[in-house]
Structure 1
Amino acid sequence: MAVTRIADIIQPEVFTQYVIQKTMEVSNVLNSGIAENNALFDQLASGPSTLINMPYFEDLTGESETLKDQGSLTPGAIGTNKDVARKNGRGRAWGANGLSAYLSGADPLGSTANLVSGFWARDRQKVLLSTLAGVFASESLAGKVHDISEAEGDAALISGETFIDANQLMGDAKDSLTAVTFHSAVESYLAKRQLIEYVQEAGQNVRVPYFMNKRVIVDDGMPFDTTTKIGTAYLFGTGALAWGNGSHPDVLATETDRDSLASSGEDFLINRQLYILHPRGIKFT
């Protein structure tokens, strides 16, 4: 009797690309437009070292000059700076027993890849939230945190007014903010007060929530204390995060293995990922 093993149905190269593609599709971070993925970010994620320099041009500064009938204008230079991003290397292995129900289906490769991509989407969300917690705990960004946890009355509640106050921390750049992420309990609280608008967007099978004209990304990984009702929300602009999917010849993204000494035999699927998911304008230390 022929027996199908994981190695018989999974081609590592095909599986790896499929998982990466599906992870990007199911990730709320990428779907919302706050993360940008391109060939340069993929290349940087594939490069050497665990820290990556990401140069960028700063905004133009200086004053205009009065035009005169003699003399020349004084040329100015565009400033440059650089982010320093941390490369993430993560891995996970699964035994065949945990996948057996899916491996017996009509599309075992697709079923397995869908499960793995969902896992990585959730895992990257965890990495992102941990990164943001560190970013906004830094002294340099203390002025970009609107903390209402110790206020009283309505001033201590998330509402249209307190949300506008948080937006105002960006000054005249506040219009560049396009999305907000918070816990599902916060979404429910705002929905009960009819402050959430659900929009059926083109190409979407579900309605997308909006709060104060900002797209809402609901994630129960967001900090929220069910007892005190104190939580955290993050505001994002389009392309606020650099997302790069890396690779390296010495780090096999997909492998299969088998333990022949196990009583009934056991198959394994190993998946590894190298990537950057970096808030732009930040230097990792």
Structure 2
Amino acid sequence: MAVTKLADIVGHQEFAKYFNLQMLEQSVLVKSGIAAPDPVIAAKIAEGSGLEGKTLDMPYLDSLDSAGDSEVPVEETGATAEKISSGNDTAVVQFRRKKFGVTDIARIMRAADPMAQIVAQQVPYWNKQNQKIFLAIIKGVFAANARKAGTNTTENDTNGYLNGCDGDMILDLTAETEESAQILSKDSIMLAAQLLGDHKADLTAVAMPSIVETYLAGLDTNASLYRASEGPAALSKYNGRDIIVDDTVPYDPTTKTATIYLFGKGAVAYNPLPCPHPFELERDPDKAVDYIHAWVREIIHLRGWKWQGASAGLAPTNTELEAAGAWKRVWDKKRIPCVMLKAKLG
């Protein structure tokens, strides 16, 4: 009699498709609207070409704002034609692997099958890994943004944006002279959103450590923060913005300095990329151990910030992603719905 074994499921390409689908459905970044598949990369995946190497090109068209104002017609005089300029964003491919093992003794000594549990937890495990990768990228981007503009002229590109941007996407209240002005208040997030000017409404989600969410709940007198009622998969909101609670978002308990990030819909391109053998089972009979190998290759990219870094291996580590010199802004800041707030908890 034929029976279905774990190896029949894990080693099958359909499991990889199921894994990628569940990654998208369960990702907090996707559910909040921050991350969405890039259509150009999705087309390359469908075609099965153009996915080689450590980086992927993401060409874009600039805003028509650079074309100047409209003209008043002049009789028998032609209009001046303007063009729409273009450029190229570059995303670095995230490539990670992990090996899990279970001994026969572990199976004998436990009622539940540890290997089955490992397989069942692949999606939440890798989603947490993705959040760490994402926050490493954000840390590097804002380190680049904080650089003084004009000091890195060799990194200038055709659009004229420098690696350093004078911190024009950062509101750092901890730099204020008055101690009271350094404290996070109900208005702080609103003031941070103002960094995008008339595009501040584009910021629809906010990421913070759990202690900050608790602190904001204590400040709340007008029900601006409410808990999700749709179940454990739903998100809380603050003044209409989805809250992503993640304790890998920086917080210094000694100084009580907290970091908060604001994002807009579609700010991040997220595309799982194909691997030849994304999941494989291996048996070592001599040691009586079963192994599962997981390989994950994907794009996680903040649009408008071009990767120009280097990696010692096949893909950058989180530390390499955090480097200020690894990123260069190629879009105007108002096109990038992402700002940072630093403040102290009272």
TM class by smaller structure: 0.7 to 0.9
The corresponding residue for 2:96 is 90
CA displacement 1:26-69 (0-9 Å, x = unmatched): 22111100111145334557701112210111100212010233
**Where does residue 274 of structure 1 map in the other structure?**
297
Q: CA RMSD in A?
A: 2.7
1:171-250 correspondence to structure 2 within 5 Å: 171-194=197-220, 196-198=224-226, 200=228, 204-206=230-232, 208-249=235-276
2:172 matches 1:147: yes
Q: Is the 8 A contact 2:185 2:219 kept in 1?
A: no
How many pairs does the alignment contain? Answer: 275
| Alignment counterpart, residue 255 of structure 1, candidates 264, 268, 280 | 280
Q: Which amino acid aligns with 2:126?
A: W
Larger relative contact order (CA 8 Å, sep ≥ 6) = 1
Which stretches in structure 1 are left out of the alignment for 5+ residues?
none
Following the alignment from structure 2 to structure 1, what is the Cα–Cα distance between the partners of residues 197 and 255? 30
| Deviation of the 1:256 alpha carbon | 1.0
Q: TM-score, normalised by structure 2?
A: 0.72
Query: Does the residue aligned with 1:158 lie in a helix, a strand or coil?
Result: coil
Q: Distance in 2 between matches of 1:113 and 1:18?
A: 12
Q: Once the 2 structures are TM-superposed, how far is the Cα of residue 259 of structure 1 from its aligned partner?
A: 0.6
Residues 227 and 4 of structure 1, relative CA distance in 2, 3 Å threshold: farther
Listed one character per residue, the Cα deviations across residues 180-219 of structure 1 (whole Å, up to 9, x for unaligned) are 1010000000001116422657xx4245322233211111
* Pick aligned residue for 1:54 from 44, 54, 58: 58
C-alpha distance after superposition, 1:196-255 (max 9, x if no partner): 422657xx4245322233211111111111222112111111100011111143xx2111
Q: Please give the alpha-carbon distance, in whole angstroms, between the structure 1 residues aligned to 2:90 and 2:59.
A: 9
Matched position secondary structure for 2:251: coil
**TM-score, normalised with respect to structure 1:** 0.87
Distance in 2 (alpha carbons) for counterparts of 1:102 and 1:232: 43
| Structure 2 residue aligned with 1:79 | 85
Q: Distance in 1 between matches of 2:76 and 2:228?
A: 60
2:35 and 2:268 in contact (8 A); partners too: yes
Cα distance 1:31–1:175, how it changes in 2: closer, same or farther (>3 A)? same
What percentage of residue pairs aligned between the two structures are identical?
Answer: 30
Question: How far does residue 165 in structure 1 lie from its aligned partner after superposition?
Answer: 2.0
